[in-house]
Structure 1
Amino acid sequence: MPITDFINDLLNPDLAFLPKALLVAVMSSIVCGVVGCYVVLRGMAFIGDAVAHAVFPGLAVAFVIQGSLVIGGAVAGVITALLVAVFSQNRRIKEDSIIGVFYVAAFALGIVIISQAPGYAGSLQQFLFGSITGIPDEDIFVVGITGALLLAVVFLFHKEFVAVSLDREMARALGMRVFWLDIVLYVMVTVAIVISVQTIGNILVLALLITPAAAARLLTDRLAVMMLLAPVVGGTSAVLGLYLSWSYDLPVGGTIVLVLTAVFLLAWTFAPRHGLIAKRWRQAAVSSVAPG
């Protein structure tokens, strides 16, 4: 499909769901790109994956009672994140074990709840893999306001998040409240995932959180630049993915993830300092000047 036809479809009042899906996809990509930088910097991708499971019971309850999926998922995710933060204080059991227990249990609860709803199979597929149809107008405002609040929290606590991500013990020695910063970061990851679920799905949402930040990490050594590049990568990939999915009748969530993965592979190969080709050139240069 030519890009002009796609633009015409976006402006077509009979396809009102399409611009709404595009707007939600771009907004959630920007937020996930920024928050995902902390996730990648801290090496907590497993937490992001677990949070994606944790929001499922809230989504299921919201679906059954015809409420807001964003609010339902956020409530479930935040409650589970708080439980993990509290139970993780017992150092007898490591944090990743606590995460595994609670988040998988939450996902299982969500499956049980959604199985009791009419149209179980279709609604489950929509939750797991995303859908560009049926996004309510109120959810657009919820996503926009929630995303703006998340970015405001990032602006206010950026230095603290970086300190905790790089050296927790040093941050604690400096008097920072590491426990509460952990909770805030867990909640931020939860909310960023929730606002992305409707477009990209519960299973694939981790890609929106991790892949743009990972690609940006390969392209720069500066965190500030990384936090600018990641949302650009995520937002651009969301637009291109939605365009391709609409043009070729492909699943939108899977298409966006494949575009993100392609961008990551390009960065992995061609990044100016940390790409595969740049590393090979440096190794070849060192070998050429090495004695005998």
Structure 2
Amino acid sequence: MTLLDLITEPWDHAFMQRALLVAAMSGIVCGVVGSHVVLRGMAFIGDAVSHAVFPGIAVAFVLKADLVIGGAAAGLATALAIAAVAQNRRLKEDTVIGVFFAAAFGLGIVVLSSAPGYSGSLESFLFGQILGISDRDVLTVAGTGTTLLAAAAILHSRLVTVTLDRETARANGLPVAALDVALYAMVALAIVISLQAVGNILVLALLVTPAACARLLTDRLGTMMLVAPLIGSLGAVCGLYLSYHLDLAAGGLIVLVLTGVFIGCWLLAPRHGLLARMRLRRARPEPEPAGRLLPSETAGR
């Protein structure tokens, strides 16, 4: 089989066409939203919200309602609660996130304990079911993703201002609390549309890893916003190709591909990679030991 056959063969199947489109769109949306998450040091919020959708899915399952809508409602409610409580600066943001993270997951377990025979139906949300995506799912991801990208573009400068200095942003009249709510809501929606790609357990990697790679590769925020979605979409598509040809779990391979890219960036990034920093340290002149006379000083004595 030629390289061209390896690339084109998956496109002969309608289910792979849908999967590749959703993988690429999820990677783009998570790359953009995840850049703000990484800049603010909020990786934990992604983990919390991804688990916060769990009780919504559980309730929707018990009520025989749409699982995606249930998960989205729970994720948004938890994100809004975190944003509201975190305005009390007495508590650090990660503390508030930890409280709601545990509460949401606990609630999901309690709800599921009342619904026998749930494991098979909810397994796809824990580990992803990207090969079972329908045409309706593709349209939902496309519509929601486009809305999120538009919101990220409109709020970009204000979100960056709040990230750099909350007090200055507040003094300049920016609605800091409302911007926090907006970012948390964007994170929740980005996670929900990515659940079918990599599942509830692995979705944090799609949100954070591409942005972390971009952070290592560039010092410019605008460039980071372009590089992160590029890495996210290409990594998701490559993982899906490997899944097709190797007959292995798609969600896990997507995450492993992105992790491999991250390790490569950590080692080889031109300015902030490990090898670049080692070369820089070797190039610096060694400081003279304290108390040692320089040659010129010795000659003058």
Scaled by the length of structure 2, the TM-score of the pair is 0.89
CA distance in 1, matches of 2:113, 2:123: 12
Q: Residues 278 and 238 of structure 1: is their aligned pair in 2 closer, same or farther, counting only changes over 3 Å?
A: same
Pick from 189, 194, 209: which aligns with 2:192?
194
State the AA in 1 paired with 2:53. Answer: V
Asked if structure 2 preserves the Cα contact closer than 8 Å seen for 1:218 and 1:268, the reply is yes
Q: 1:62 to 1:5 in 2, by over 3 A?
A: farther
Rg larger in structure: 2
- Equivalent position SS for 2:80: helix
Q: CA 1:118/1:252 → structure 2, altered by over 3 Å: closer, same or farther?
A: farther
Q: CA deviation at 1:224?
A: 0.5
Question: 2:10, 2:241 within 8 Å by CA — same for their partners in 1?
Answer: no
Contact 2:84 2:177 in 1 (8 A): no
Gaps in structure 1 of 5+ consecutive residues: none
Judged with a 3 Å threshold, the aligned counterparts in structure 2 of structure 1 residues 190 and 112 are, in CA distance, closer, same or farther, namely same
Instruction: Evaluate the alpha carbon distance shift between residue 207 and residue 67 of structure 1 in structure 2; reply closer, same or farther with a 3 A threshold.
Output: same
Matches within 5 A, 1:12-161: 12=13, 16-65=14-63, 67-117=65-115, 119-161=117-159
Cα separation, 2, equivalents of 1:111 and 1:20: 32
> Secondary structure of 1:274's partner?
coil
Structure 1 contact 68–139 (Cα < 8 Å) conserved: no
Distance 2:65 2:28 in 1: 25
Task: Give distance in 2, aligned partners of 1:260 and 1:242.
Answer: 12
Aligned to 2:8: 7
Describe the SS at the equivalent of 1:287.
coil
The 1:2/1:55 distance shift into structure 2, 3 A limit, reads farther
Structure 2 residue aligned with 1:248: 246
Match of 1:222 in 2: 220
List per-residue Cα deviations over 1:145-180 (Å, max 9, x = no partner).
111011111111111000111111111111111000
Measured in 2, the distance between the counterparts of 1:6 and 1:125 equals: 29
Give aligned pairs, total. 288
Q: Which residue of 2 aligns with 1:269?
A: 267
1:57 and 1:136 mapped to 2: Cα distance? 24
Instruction: Work out the percentage of aligned pairs sharing the same amino acid.
Output: 60
Counterpart in 2 of 1:279? 277
The residue identity in structure 2 corresponding to 1:95 is E
Unaligned runs of 5+ in 2: 289-293, 295-301
Provide closer, same or farther for how the CA distance between residues 153 and 38 of structure 1 changes in structure 2, counting only shifts above 3 A.
same
Deviation at 1:6, TM superposition (A): 5.4
How high is the TM-score relative to the length of structure 1? 0.91
Against the structure 1 CA distance between its residues 91 and 285, is the aligned structure 2 distance closer, same or farther, given a 3 Å change threshold? closer
The residue that corresponds to 1:185 in the other structure is 183
Kept after mapping to 2: 8 A contact 1:70/1:139:
no
The one-letter code sitting in structure 2 at the alignment partner of 1:79 is A
Q: State the distance in 2 between where 1:7 and 1:160 align.
A: 42
Alignment check: 8 A CA contact 2:145 2:190 kept: yes
Report how far residue 58 of structure 1 moved.
2.1
Tell me which amino acid in the other structure corresponds to 2:217: L
Q: Is the 8 A contact 2:125 2:199 kept in 1?
A: yes
